[in-house]
Amino acid sequence: MRLLIAVLSFLGLFQASQAVAQNGPVVIELYTSQGCSSCPPADAVLHDLAERDDVIALALHVDYWDYLGWKDEFGRPENTERQHAYARSFRATTVYTPQMIFNGQDDVVGSRTMQVMDMLQAHQSRGNSVDVTLARRGERVIINAEADSRGDYVVQLVRYTPEQTVDVRRGENAGKTLSYANIVTSWDYISRWDGRSPLALDAAAPGDAPIVVIIQQRGYGPILGAAELR
């Protein structure tokens, strides 16, 4: 498939934009809230991570701090549900913000920069076991993947807003103007896959928002491969 795309691109017959996960980017999910006074430093860290090509940085705003007086404009109950699902997977008794989860496996407090960078380096050294290739074709995304071993995987399609600034008027961050990066707007499960044979599918991806495809072990297990089209 890659050889064919390369030949077609050389001949000018394949015009879709492309992204390939070779060494495998590390997926970092930040669970954050505009109503959390501890979150702005972690949001700033995610801003820096979002600039890196070896990281897929995603901000998932939760809604359980809304009662403090400010409703997070980006808060989604689906994000809260995903964080609680991770807690059950980790056998944790509680959830917190700002929490960063690395490749669905490990978590650190997102404002602790040194711990964040150490965890990133650890996951980079492990590499990914699933290689993911994406191509945008009109209003759809073409997904190809190959796995080193069989498994029970879910294929997920994520869209996000690259950056937005908010004037917080109430709650713990009242009076602050905060900038947010890579704000998740949708997270859809599009397929199951056993890894036995190469994956080849396409999915609707309307609009020009960045596209992320994540392949994860079913049941909120490790993220084994991902790729992004910005």
Q: pLDDT tens digits, residue range 93-131?
A: 999 999 999 999 999 999 999 999 999 999 999 989 999
Which candidate, 40, 96, 86, places its Cα nearest to that of 64? 96
Q: What pLDDT is recorded for position 24?
A: 86
pTM for this entry = 0.89
CB 80 within 8 A of CB 64: yes
Residues 45/182, Cβ–Cβ less than 8 Å: no
**What local confidence, expressed as pLDDT, does residue 134 receive?**
97
Q: Which residues of 5-33 are buried (b: 16+ CB within 10 A; e: fewer)?
A: beeeeeeeeeebebbebeebbbbbbbbbb
Q: Look at residue 15 in the predicted model and tell me its pLDDT.
A: 41
pLDDT higher than threshold 50 for residue 10: no
pLDDT digits (tens, 9 = 90+) for 156-188: 999 999 999 999 999 999 999 999 999 999 999
Give 221's DSSP letter. -
Provide the sign of the torsion angle of the four alpha carbons 84, 85, 90, 91, taken in this order: positive
Contact 202, 138 (CB under 8 A): no
Rounded-to-integer distance, Cα 108 and Cα 131, Å? 26
Q: Residue 83 belongs to what H/E stretch?
A: helix 77-90
Q: What's the pLDDT tens digit per position in 64-82?
A: 999 999 999 999 999 999 9
Cα–Cα nearest to 184, from 38, 41, 31: 31
* CATH node for 2-229: 3.40.30.10
CB proximity list for 77: less than 8 A, separation 6 or greater = 63
- In angstroms, rounded to a whole number, what is the distance separating the alpha carbons of residues 11 and 13? 6
Q: Check whether 12 has a pLDDT greater than 50.
A: no
